[in-house]
Amino acid sequence: MTSNIAIFGGSGGIGTAFTKQFTFLNPNATINVFSRQKPKKVLPNVKYHIINYQDEVSIDESAKIASKDSPLDMVIVATGILHEGKMKPEKSIKDLSLEKFQRIFEINSIVPILIAKHLLPKMNRETKSIFAALSARVGSISDNQLGGWYSYRASKAALNMAIKTLAIEIRRSNKNAIIIGLHPGTVDTNLSKPFQRNVPTGKLFTPEYSTQKMLEVLKNLTSRQSGKCFAWDGKEILP
C-alpha cells in the first residue's frame, strides 16, 4: 500500500501530472510535493513545499519533512533540464562549453543523486518502496545512433549509472527498496516544446498519459529490477 509519497519537481508538467494521479489513486495517502516555486494550481490534501536544489541542507530538510510521520513508500524525482534561456542542446562539438556541462550535470545528475542520498534512508523497509528518477532514452550509450546533445546525453548516462550503483548499495540495508530510472517518452511540456515538430505523429504524449503509463510500470516492479531504467511502455532501456 502506497501511503507516504514524495514528489520532487512538482511544479513541472510531469511532476504536476504525477501529483494528480497519486491523489486519484491514493486518496488517503500523505503526499508531499517539493519544487522551486509553488505550482500555480494546487490540489487539496497535498502538502506543498519550496526547495532549493542547490542547497543540500534544503534537500536534507525535505527528507525530514517527507518522512516525519512514517517511512516513504514512493519517491518521484521529476526534475530535469534540456535547455535554458540561450542555452540549447549541442548539435556539434563547437557548441560545447564548460558552463553548459556544469549546469546540465548539476540539474540532471547531481540533484537527483543528492535527493537519493537523503531520501533513500527514509524509505519503507517493511514493504515494497520505490525511488524513481526521470531519465531519458538518449542516456543509453548503446542506443546512441544520432550523436549530438553531448551534455544532456552524458548527464542522463551518469544518472543511470548512479541509479545502478545506488541500487547495489541500498540492497544491503533495504531489500524492499527499488531504485529505477524512468523514461517518460516525449511529453508535451516546456522541456520538449522547441523540438516537438520533429516528433512522429502519435509519439508526443500528454503529461497525463505519460504518467499513467509510468505508474503502470511502477506497479509491476520487483526488487530484481532495481538499478535498471525503464521506458513508459515497460521496456528496459539498456546502458
Instruction: Judge whether 237 lies within some domain.
Output: no
- The DSSP output letter for 50 is E
SS3 at position 33: strand
Instruction: Judge whether 68 lies within some domain.
Output: yes
CATH number at residue 94: 3.40.50.720
Q: What pLDDT was estimated at residue 1?
A: 65
Q: pLDDT category, 4, cuts 50, 70, 90?
A: very high
Instruction: Judge whether 120 lies within some domain.
Output: yes
pLDDT digits (tens, 9 = 90+) for 181-232: 999 999 988 888 777 777 777 789 999 999 999 999 999 999 999 999 999 9
pLDDT digits (tens, 9 = 90+) for 112-159: 999 999 999 999 999 999 999 999 999 999 999 999 999 999 999 999
Instruction: Judge whether 130 lies within some domain.
Output: yes
pLDDT digits (tens, 9 = 90+) for 68-84: 999 999 999 999 999 99
Instruction: Judge whether 236 lies within some domain.
Output: no
Question: Cα separation of 130 and 120, whole Å?
Answer: 9
Three-class DSSP labels, 114-140? HHHHHHHHHECCCCCEEEEEECCHHHC
Domain count, the chain: 1
Q: What is the dihedral of CA 50, 205, 132, 138, to 10 degrees?
A: -110
Q: What pLDDT was estimated at residue 220?
A: 94
Domain with 212 in it: 4-231
Instruction: Judge whether 239 lies within some domain.
Output: no
Instruction: Judge whether 75 lies within some domain.
Output: yes
Per the DSSP assignment, residues forming a β-bridge with 237 are none
Instruction: Judge whether 192 lies within some domain.
Output: yes
DSSP E strand boundaries for the chain: 4-8, 30-35, 46-50, 74-77, 129-134, 177-183, 186-187, 204-205, 229-231
CA proximity to 135, closest of 93, 196, 179, 193? 179
